[in-house]
Structure 1
Amino acid sequence: MTPRTRAARALAALGTVAAIVLGAAACSTPAVPLVLPSDLPGATVPPTPELARYYSQQLAWKPCTKYECADLTVPIDYARPGDGDIALKVLRVKAGDQGDRIGSLVVNPGGPGASGVNYAVGVNVGPDVHRYFDIVGFDPRGVGRSAHVDCLSDGRLDQFLGTDPTPDSTAEEQDVVSEAKTLAAGCETRNARLLPHLSTVDVAKDMDILRAALGEGQLTYLGKSYGTFIGSTYADLFPERVGRFVLDGVVPPDLSSTELAEGQARGFERATRSYVQDCVDQGDCPIGGSVDEGMAWIRDFLRRADTDPLPTGDPKMPHLTEAWASYGLGEALYDQGMWGILTAALEETKSGSASGLMSLADSYTHRNPNGTYSDNLMESIYAVNCLDRPDSPDLSSYEANAKKFSVVAPTWGPFLAWGQVPCGVWPVKGGAPPHTVSAAGSNTIVVVGTTRDPATPYEWSKRLRDQLSNAVLVTWNGDGHTAYGRSNDCIDNAIDAWYVQGQAPKDGLTC
């Protein structure tokens, strides 16, 4: 999803609620053992002979701080594997009990553009999962340390991200297009060879090479947000290789660009109302005494930021524009633990300062206080999404969507509609078009949805569960983005039992 429609930020899935230790039964040998390479003929046999050298590689693990790191070699172009390779960075946190180790759990936090290497270090899984599984993360191609995409200088990226997100004149619309073309041209010029090969299908194929290199007959996987798109794509390509899968905060592969934007507009609108209700319930809410008053205040504040931006105290970004205000607001909606911070930031704006909201915006975009960016999330997110979901070059389609989305999401609709423009001018094509997946013949896939998730609306989790041939749906009736590791014991215990004991949650479990 674009910076205005992305499915997740890198740290969104790192909850503050610790998972609870399972009962004694969870510490025993798993009830349903995973399939080992020796049990599954052809576990390292490549889909085509040309890929044999990739599937037969062994990872050369080396110490990196307290963990182990390695490079995984994959082809740039799966259609022409002899045309060159790239190295994907992989990190492993070894299982606490190597004697009773079950296998490897590969994790991805989403984005697209978030680092799986960083996520493996901090992912919040249950203590028994850490005990029995090596936690393995990799930076997908084009992301972080894996042949990362670089499109704009940091200062130029500031300008791109600060473009008026809700243009209301022809000149402002043309500015949106101009900025989108600048990003696209920069990506093409600096990454010409790799840019056509950054689709989610490519990443899923890389993940099967990783599975083979890890010595696993089947892949055990935790995908959050966009990571669910990777996981469901993998399951559809390699259903017999699916081990214990959890897809939390779903992005269905069949969503069109328009469906994605409209769904997230609804999701962020619903999440914003939930935040405002909590603010009102807490008492002395600085933005109003009712939900409707609070929502109207936020919309008015964003309009004022468009014409009269507030000072931030940041010499590199001295004024909070509508775009940066929206990023700051959106950041806090990913985790209800940040709602108090948002309330304080909004109260601060009433005294004429936007430093708190700018700090939230920096967190959303992974922008450092000195004006640099800590990673390439805000560039790689387009490089992946615009291959997976190209959009229209016709500006009238965005105008129409902005009006349509405003009916159901007056706060977020136009913002999300216009955020799709870069994919309408993207210079390369070639990803698989949006399509349904079934993963026929796979093991059970556990799908998790949160009822008031802003970035991946609950309806999307139900949508994917209905498409998959063998899946169960687990629901958290709550707020924020994703559920496992940041919701409650009911969710955490169910997922831990699935990983450690092989006991799938009951379909329809609601927590």
Structure 2
Amino acid sequence: MRKRWGAAAVAVPLFMSLAGTAQAIPGPLYEYYNQTVGWAECPAGWVTPSTGVECATVIVPMDYQNPDNGNLEIAISRKKASDPVRRRGVLLTNPGGPGGSGLGAVHWFNAQTDVLKTYDVIGMDPRGVGRSTQLRCIATQTDDEFPSRPTNAQLSNWTEYYRSVEADCQRGGGEMRRFVSTMNTARDMDVIRGALGEKKISYVGYSYGTQLGAVFGSMFPKSLDRSVLDSALDPLKTWHEQDVDVVDAITDNLRKWTEWTAARNGTYGLGTTPAAVRGELDKIAALLKTGSYGGYEDVTSFDYAVGATRYRRSWAAFSRHIASIKAGVADPAEASAIVAALKKGDVEPTSPGTYQAVTCEWNWSTDVNTYYNDMKRWRDTNPYGGTVDYMAPTNCTFRAFERPEPIPAITRNYPAGVVVNSDGDTQTPLANGRVMAEHLNVPLINVQNDGQHGHYALRGNACVDALVTKYLVSGILPSSRVTCAGTDIAETVPPGEMVSREALRQHRPLSEILGEIAAEPKPF
């Protein structure tokens, strides 16, 4: 049973920043900020490997405006600074989501020895997630289809399904849903800071964790020291407005692959222009509308497979794959292996309920026809890569609860940090990172010609790692706009003679490359 703290247990108020300005912490919050953190060996399954990592729980109120209305537990992990003499504080991390478990993120920095000497690295399962008090949805069942090229009549399938998802999440989450939010997670972070006895925290956040970091800095500017926002969101757009940037990035990656492949027509024979290469995809898709072909069961699975063009290291193998289908020598098992590898490489499901609550902080249009019009536009112009699904309604279209508070205006009254984004990332496009960097007036590291998501300490990118580690350890910012070469590098394939049918069979299969990508660490 969780300990319940009430106002009667409180003695003296404590002054610190609660929402960006110095104010007295109300009595009920004093004990939260001053609780003792009992570090101990991590329970089985919390962090793997557990060697060198400690775990603890911190108590926070469910509702900060009414702290007597129940408490939640927040699970945290710690890898202590290896050089106590150099220690300068804690480095709190978040892997994104919303709803990603962050206890194991302490291991992402294993190769950054200077960071590990300098900081206690802190992982966290945010409220609603993992080993913290969970927010759950009741599972929604459906027999509807969600094809990549829906008919007009099928568009309502998304509406019916997500209306049910929202009702089931409300039934499963109850009152807690209203209080699982970016703002309350930011408040939890400040309670963790206080409970750890730190005047300030430094922070590395990935993906949605960049939104969380920006909100924390806006609410608690006096509590934030150094900050890194890797694969950043756009702080000035709603979640759905950024979905438009996502489908633009998917389309741009496909265009770049067609250009790369057209320049190597002598090798692949798929056309001398990007339009001709795209035309070969369209021919396969047309055949799949009438039945299985090239190992694919239907056009939806093929459209999904084209999403592999996000990764530059897959370009040559994908071109060979399409050429083998055109030549009639494709391995029937390869198509299903490609789709399976891509699904495995997708962002792992976040905590059931948290994603569906936090993304509803933004106001979503309730007019389903606006979604249908966008879905039809992408269906008719570029359905490859699953673009239509990004334009569809979600459970937030039918939000069943009132937001307790709006997302605060994103401001920066704390030291300058660093933003990192890549130009091929389809989860947090470069356009989003540019706006985050410009709005906060901080340096942007652009990882060039790279489709990966999350970079610092994850990709072995010496340029990114050196710049960010130097900033975290020494406080030295990179130049205002820096370009680092990506590690997602296309295979060297000079224009040449057409590869033989036998050679198409013998090359390394695309599914193997995608399987390796799927196994790599990644933020949510």
Give the TM-score taking structure 1 as reference length: 0.77
Q: Which residue of 2 aligns with 1:370?
A: none
Q: Which residue of 1 aligns with 2:36?
A: 58
SS class of match (1:98): coil
Q: Which residue of 1 aligns with 2:445?
A: 474
Question: Deviation per CA, 1:349-402, whole angstroms, max 9, x where unpaired?
Answer: 8444433233224324567xxxxxxx54565322221x2223223221112223
SS class of match (1:97): coil
The partner residue of 1:384 within 346, 355, 358 is 358
Q: Which residue of 2 aligns with 1:272?
A: 254
SS class of match (1:191): helix
- Give, in whole Å, the separation in 2 of the partners of 1:384 and 1:338: 33
Paired amino acid for 2:152: S
SS class of match (1:465): helix
Q: Which residue of 2 aligns with 1:138?
A: 124
Change (3 A) 1:305 1:509: same
- Give, in whole Å, the separation in 1 of the partners of 2:368 and 2:352: 23
Pairing 1:292–2:265 present = no
User: How far apart are residue 505 of structure 1 and its match?
Assistant: 1.4
- Give, in whole Å, the separation in 1 of the partners of 2:230 and 2:332: 39
Check conservation: 1:101, 1:131, Cα contact below 8 A: yes
SS class of match (2:421): strand
- Give, in whole Å, the separation in 1 of the partners of 2:345 and 2:172: 25
- Give, in whole Å, the separation in 2 of the partners of 1:142 and 1:338: 36
Paired amino acid for 1:362: K
Q: Which residue of 1 aligns with 2:244?
A: 262
- Give, in whole Å, the separation in 2 of the partners of 1:139 and 1:46: 28
- Give, in whole Å, the separation in 2 of the partners of 1:197 and 1:215: 25
Paired amino acid for 2:430: Y
Residue segments in structure 2 that go unaligned for 5+ positions in a row = 1-13, 43-49, 485-524
User: How far apart are residue 74 of structure 1 and its match?
Assistant: 1.4
The partner residue of 1:70 within 41, 56, 68 is 56
SS class of match (1:358): helix
- Give, in whole Å, the separation in 1 of the partners of 2:282 and 2:35: 54
Q: Which residue of 2 aligns with 1:488?
A: 461
User: How far apart are residue 78 of structure 1 and its match?
Assistant: 1.7
Question: Deviation per CA, 1:64-106, whole angstroms, max 9, x where unpaired?
Answer: 2311111121111122111111111111122222342222111
Paired amino acid for 1:96: S
Q: Which residue of 1 aligns with 2:108?
A: 122
Pairing 1:48–2:26 present = yes
Pairing 1:167–2:153 present = no
Change (3 A) 1:258 1:504: same
Aligned residue runs from structure 1 range 343-354, under 5 A: 350-353=330-333, 354=335
Pairing 1:237–2:237 present = no
Paired amino acid for 2:33: Y
User: How far apart are residue 131 of structure 1 and its match?
Assistant: 2.4
Paired amino acid for 1:500: V
Aligned residues: 451
Q: Which residue of 2 aligns with 1:22?
A: none
User: How far apart are residue 190 of structure 1 and its match?
Assistant: 1.3
SS class of match (1:448): strand
Change (3 A) 1:275 1:205: farther
The partner residue of 1:455 within 427, 433, 446 is 427
Change (3 A) 1:304 1:76: farther
Aligned residue runs from structure 1 range 264-343, under 5 A: 264-277=246-259, 284-285=267-268, 291-298=274-281, 308=291, 330=307, 333=310, 336-337=312-313
- Give, in whole Å, the separation in 1 of the partners of 2:216 and 2:423: 25
Pairing 1:220–2:191 present = no
Paired amino acid for 1:113: G
Q: Alpha carbon RMSD of aligned pairs, Å?
A: 3.6
- Give, in whole Å, the separation in 1 of the partners of 2:130 and 2:420: 27
SS class of match (2:420): strand
Percent identical across equivalent pairs? 25
SS class of match (2:423): strand
Question: Deviation per CA, 1:275-297, whole angstroms, max 9, x where unpaired?
Answer: 45556668855976654344445
Paired amino acid for 1:237: M
Q: Which residue of 2 aligns with 1:25?
A: none
Check conservation: 1:262, 1:416, Cα contact below 8 A: no
- Tell which has more relative contact order, 1 or 2 (C-alpha 8 A, sep 6+): 1
Q: Which residue of 2 aligns with 1:507?
A: 480
Check conservation: 2:72, 2:133, Cα contact below 8 A: yes
Check conservation: 2:177, 2:357, Cα contact below 8 A: yes
- Give, in whole Å, the separation in 2 of the partners of 1:90 and 1:225: 20
- Give, in whole Å, the separation in 1 of the partners of 2:351 and 2:300: 17
Question: Deviation per CA, 1:105-131, whole angstroms, max 9, x where unpaired?
Answer: 111121222211122223466221122
SS class of match (1:87): strand
- Give, in whole Å, the separation in 2 of the partners of 1:287 and 1:381: 41
Check conservation: 1:450, 1:478, Cα contact below 8 A: yes
Check conservation: 2:94, 2:209, Cα contact below 8 A: yes
User: How far apart are residue 54 of structure 1 and its match?
Assistant: 1.3
Which structure's CA Rg is the greater one? 2
Check conservation: 1:93, 1:135, Cα contact below 8 A: yes
Give the TM-score taking structure 2 as reference length: 0.75
Q: Which residue of 2 aligns with 1:102?
A: 88
- Give, in whole Å, the separation in 2 of the partners of 1:55 and 1:331: 47
Paired amino acid for 1:415: V
Question: Deviation per CA, 1:300-331, whole angstroms, max 9, x where unpaired?
Answer: 6667767746899xxxxxx9666666666547
- Give, in whole Å, the separation in 2 of the partners of 1:399 and 1:232: 32
Change (3 A) 1:342 1:178: farther
Residue segments in structure 1 that go unaligned for 5+ positions in a row = 1-39, 313-318, 368-374
